Structure 1
């Protein structure tokens, strides 16, 4: 069945279109000529030719659509019309086999429809396909969160994927399947990205090495820790040793004057004493003093050079070294070197005083290690830069490995759920394909069975019988000579009547042809297929008596669609004829709302555009029905009820029934007769005259009394069935509780 019809961009319908939904088994559409009804029937017949109009089918299962409109008449009413195959005489067991085979076909079609519903449509809006799409959409959102977190640092590695969640998700799944790179810390990856893709991608210069070995060698001079004194075997040695002032004596020697005057006591010294003192400071002593002096001078020079070298190293501002930490280490080294220089200066002044220098090794080692580590980084940087294409490729794989590890559980859960859904979808698709093959075989077998029992002759006989029963005796249908799969319309003398039929005859023959086409098909394969039927103004140009005949035939089709047991699964009736609409749509079982199997629509022009409006019940009312609706209304107007009752009595008893009101009054006796006569008098007075409020008052009590008499008129005239039909559930509302209790 059709669930929805969209009519757009054709006829008087605008591009945005009009929609009929939801649709039921029986659908009534009323509209004046030119309102846009035929466009609707044409869309149903061939939606592909009327894009962007479209049809939406229940369970995505299209059915053949048989459409009766002016196009159908033009296509089919020719000198020879296509024959309609119907089931003819056949063995009972063959017919039973057809029924069974049709059940097999219907069962397979139902199974396929159910599986397609479970599978879902191709747009993935529902079913398993919808579940898979929803799962994928959610996973794409999760993947995109990963991208947002790392995009700023790894945008080059994510190039081409940064503006598409779908592409990024596809890459995540691809990498999860194929990536075997080693895991690397994310901070290390960020540093590598700066080298590979940033401005740091140029070769770096290695830092100069820090070598303080010469300073350490000076610290190891043995003479520094010894007391350096003169020769022990001279006679002044004991005195100098006892005084403990050899350094003081040595320092005074250069001050001996020409006259050998003692620089200490200013007394004349003998040449022998001078020689003995000078002999105390022999060559060994002098050499050791020279060694001490050299050690001091060397250490001083090396200290200055080392500190300048280290400060120059800081000035390089290498990105691979911690400048603050290095500055602190250099400061501590400088302090220790200064201490050692002071000790060396003291040793130089006083060779006899031993000194021990504080070693700088423990301070020099971390500085040298820091520089060496920085140079290792520089070497790695330069190696990467030298092989940048391969390094970028490997870096990208490591980045993806990092992202995969970060979302490993989400990827695992998605892969499992997606795999389960994928297997279910593939299974359903395979099942549908297999059942489709079985359905094709079952249909072929059904067509073969139908071919054995179908014929066009029963339709010829049926149409001719209907023509005769309706008084159309001056022409008949017959099979077209040796072409027994075609019809032709002929006169009694056998001559073709196609060109001489009146418009009414032509319309009636076309309708009967279509009516029997509903029960059969123009090919043997179409005889038992389910179908949708559309009647578009089938009573145009028909006489009033034929109109009721057509109505009766259409009602049969409507009942079949409502029951849902025959071939006709859905009917659309479009008309501009209000009497035909009322005749076909009349249903005494319908309450105030449309039945569950039917819908009502009005097609009208708004400006130059067609619009379609749905109604909860039949919107087409006669004026006579509206009068009764006023009587049924518990909130009726006391000012107009007089005229309403008069018009009902006039229409029903005088115009339609030709019953004199005096005869109606005569049906009553006694007080009831007076009340009835009063009603007719009051009605005529109230509807044709002017009240004088001083002596006429139509209050609720008076209205209820006369409404009761109005009801009893139908009882006394044996027309109570009409009263019941027109009042429906409003019988009690038309009278007071006391009167209603005495109702029928």
Structure 2
């Protein structure tokens, strides 16, 4: 059956449209002419012709739709009508086979529906498919969290999938199935990504590693630890050693040479022999050591200057692989060490006899060498990557995805396990559904073949003619026609064609009867027992009041058939603008105030030339007669107007019944009650009262209670207690009890005229 409809973009419906939701077996739609009812019936009849409209079927299984509306009348009322095939009754065995086939079809359909519920859920939005969809939504969200966490670092690796949850998730799942890359640390991946994914990447020059061998060699020369002094066998040696002033004397010799024969310090003449002995003390060996110290100073100065110059040049380069702050720290440390050693060596020159210890820079030189060697290794790796950039990008991208897979392994494994289980269940259900659908098609084919063998158009002719005669239409009837007797003609009693001479009422009624029997038959030899949706759109147009009740009774029969077990009538829609017909066809003595579980009520209105639909949880259409009764039932009723309300109810009800002797009714009361009863029947002599201010009586509560009591007893004394109870809501009664009162002007619950 139809669960939901959207009517949009046709006739007076807007592009956004209006929806009928939660539709049930019986659906009543009331609306004035031109409000948009027929558009609804046309969408049901031919949804393919209304592309903007949609129909949602239960279990996504469309049914055959039979629609009675103006289009049906125009299409079918011609000189001849297609014959309606119905099942014959002469072959009980074949009928049993047909019934068996129908039961099997129903059983298969139930199996299909049950599996569809497991697959799609009871409301079409759940089941295993929803479970799989939820799994997918969850894994997409988890993958998107991963993307957001690493997007800033790995944008290039995520190229093509960065802007779509679904594509990013698909990529991760695809990589999970195929990625064989090596696993690297996150820091390594980030570091390489900065380089390899850089735009306009170029090669870098290696840096020169300064040679520290000469400095290391000079710092280790033995001359620094040697006490450079004069010859030991000169007779003044003991004095110089005791004084420890050989360096002072060596310096003084230079001054003595200039001041000879006088001493440069005491200005006295120096013995020539003393001068010779001092000269002998500072012999040739001493001079060689002094020269060695001088060479050491010069060599160390040159070597340290060159070493620092290379380091400073490296500092001026901007290589991504050399940490500038770390290099600056090393340069500062080695410059301080070299400067300190130069001071030590300079002191050796001033004090040759002193033992000088310089700073050992071996470890510092090694640290600098290792630092720069590592930088060159990184530069070399960089250059290799530049030379093979395309392949390097591919490798790094795969390694990034590998890291993401490993980091989220538990989440991905759980999803894969759950999805595998759900997929297995879905595949099993779908395979079973495929088998069931094949079985259904085969059984339906068998049913059609069985129906062809015993179908006939004659029973429908007989039944329609019997109904026409019983309803007083005796001037025409249906007769079979055509080469094979599979057509109907509307003929006069003399056999002449009557199609062109029928009145609008006759034309409408005979077409309705044709549709009524079509509901339980088919215009072909097969398909008689196929499930169907029935739509009645204003079926009583151009009919008089007598036929109105006949049509409503027949439609109610369709309602009853729709509730029957294994009925082919699965759903019924009734659309009308006629208030009386609506009240008659929708009356249900089992309904209290709210809709019953199998029905819905709708009103379609046109507001500013746009159709709108409104649903109700009760029957929204009321007659003015019912509104009068609602005033009586209302505990907060107006005491000023209640008496006249009671008089109008009696006027409506007893005038329609007729043959009512008001005097005999009045005689059943005594005293004051008799006067009140007479006043309530005053309309018999004085005419109908249409306003509430044409009769004045006391308005105190006690008087009103007496009037209400007399009003009740009038119905009891005349044998119409059941009608009183029904209208007061205290007892359920059959439809016959309310039919006579449907004569007052109709109004809707919104207060607007419904006619």
Q: TM-score, normalised by structure 2?
A: 0.88
> Which residue is equivalent to 1:657?
658
1:89-111 superposed Cα distances (whole Å, 9 cap, x missing partner) = 24333222222221111121122
Deviation, 1:439, is: 0.9
Equivalent residue, structure 2, for 1:718: 719
Change (3 A) 1:235 1:635: closer
Query: CA 1:701 to 1:121, structure 2 compared with 1: closer, same or farther past 3 Å?
Result: closer
Determine the C-alpha separation between the residues in 2 that align with 1:503 and 1:422.
61
1:185-264 paired onto structure 2 within 5 Å: 185-198=185-198, 201-231=201-231, 247=247, 250-254=250-254, 255-256=256-257
Q: 1: distance between equivalents of 2:336 and 2:583?
A: 116
Instruction: Tell me if structure 1 keeps the 8 A contact 2:646–2:680.
Output: no
The question of whether the paired residues in 2 share the 8 Å contact of 1:667 and 1:717 is answered with no
SS at match of 2:3: strand
Once the 2 structures are TM-superposed, how far is the Cα of residue 85 of structure 1 from its aligned partner? 1.3
Quote the residue 2:737 is aligned against. none
Alpha-carbon deviation of 1:485?
2.7
What SS is found at the alignment partner of 1:525?
A: coil
DSSP 3-state at the match of 1:628: helix
In structure 1, the partner of 2:171 is 171
Q: Is the 8 A contact 1:119 1:428 kept in 2?
A: yes
Question: Does structure 1 retain, via aligned residues, the 8 Å contact 2:69–2:536?
Answer: yes
Native 8 Å contact 1:250 1:281 kept in 2:
yes
- Tell me the equivalent position of 1:741: none
Counterpart for residue 640 of structure 2: 639
The answer for the alignment partner of 1:11 in structure 2 is: 11
Cα displacement (A) at 1:191: 2.3
Paired with 1:350 and 1:624, the residues of 2 have a C-alpha distance of: 138
User: Partner residue of 2:406?
Assistant: 405
Do residues 707 (structure 1) and 708 (structure 2) align? yes
Please say if residues 194 and 200 of structure 1, whose CA atoms lie closer than 8 Å, have aligned partners that are also in contact: no
Residue number in structure 2 paired with 1:629: 630
Output the CA distance in 1 between the equivalents of 2:724 and 2:278. Answer: 165
Structural mapping, 1:431-442, within 5 Å: 431-442=432-443
In 2: Cα distance, 1:583 partner to 1:242 partner: 148
Give the secondary structure class of the aligned counterpart of 2:153.
Answer: helix
Which residue in the other structure is 1:33 paired with?
A: 33
Count of residues in Structure 1 that have an aligned counterpart in Structure 2: 728
Q: Which one is further off, 274-283 or 59-68?
A: 274-283
Q: Does 1:120 align with 2:117?
A: no
RMSD: 3.3
Change (3 A) 1:170 1:346: same
Greater shift in the superposed pair: 517-526 or 495-504: 495-504
Is the CA contact (8 Å cut-off) linking 2:538 and 2:577 kept in structure 1? yes
Q: Cα–Cα, structure 1 residues 653 and 469, in superposed 2: closer, same or farther, change >3 Å?
A: closer
Does the 8 Å contact 1:230/1:282 carry over to 2?
Answer: yes
Q: CA deviation at 1:305?
A: 2.9
CA 210–624 in structure 1, closer or farther in 2 if over 3 Å, else same: same
Match of 1:739 in 2: none
Tell me whether 679-688 or 713-722 shows the greater mean CA deviation. 679-688
Question: What do the CA deviations read for 1:20-79 (whole angstroms, capped 9, x no partner)?
Answer: 233222222233332222222111111221232222222322221111112112222233
Asked whether the 8 Å contact 2:5–2:20 carries over to 1, the reply is yes
Which consecutive residues of structure 1, in runs of 5 or more, have no partner in the other structure?
732-744
- 1:347 equivalent to 2:348? Answer yes
1:587 aligns with 2:588: yes
Partner residue of 1:294? 295
Where 2:526 maps in the other structure, the secondary structure is: helix
Q: Could you say if the C-alpha distance between residues 692 and 537 of structure 1 is closer, same or farther in structure 2, counting changes exceeding 3 Å?
A: closer
Is the 8 Å Cα contact of residues 101 and 447 (structure 2) preserved in structure 1?
A: yes
Match of 1:309 in 2: 310
| Partner of residue 740, structure 1 | none
Asked whether the 8 Å contact 2:25–2:599 carries over to 1, the reply is yes
Question: 5 Å matches for 1:429-468?
Answer: 429-468=430-469
Aligned to 2:751: none
When structure 1 is superposed on structure 2, of 447-456 and 436-445 the one drifting more is 447-456
1:427 equivalenced with 2:428 (yes/no): yes
> What TM-score results when the alignment is normalised by the length of structure 1?
0.89
**Is the contact between residue 600 and residue 615 of structure 1 (CA under 8 Å) also seen in structure 2?**
yes
Residue 554 in structure 1 maps to residue 550 in structure 2:
no
2:73: which partner in 1? 73
Q: For each residue in 1:541-572, what CA deviation from the matched residue of structure 2 results, as whole angstroms up to 9, or x when unmatched? A: 33443333223222211222245652212211
188 and 627 in structure 1: CA distance in 2 versus 1, 3 angstrom threshold = same
Give distance in 2, aligned partners of 1:673 and 1:229. 163
- Which residue is 2:146 aligned to? 146
- 1:505 counterpart residue number: 506
- More deviation, 219-228/565-574: 219-228
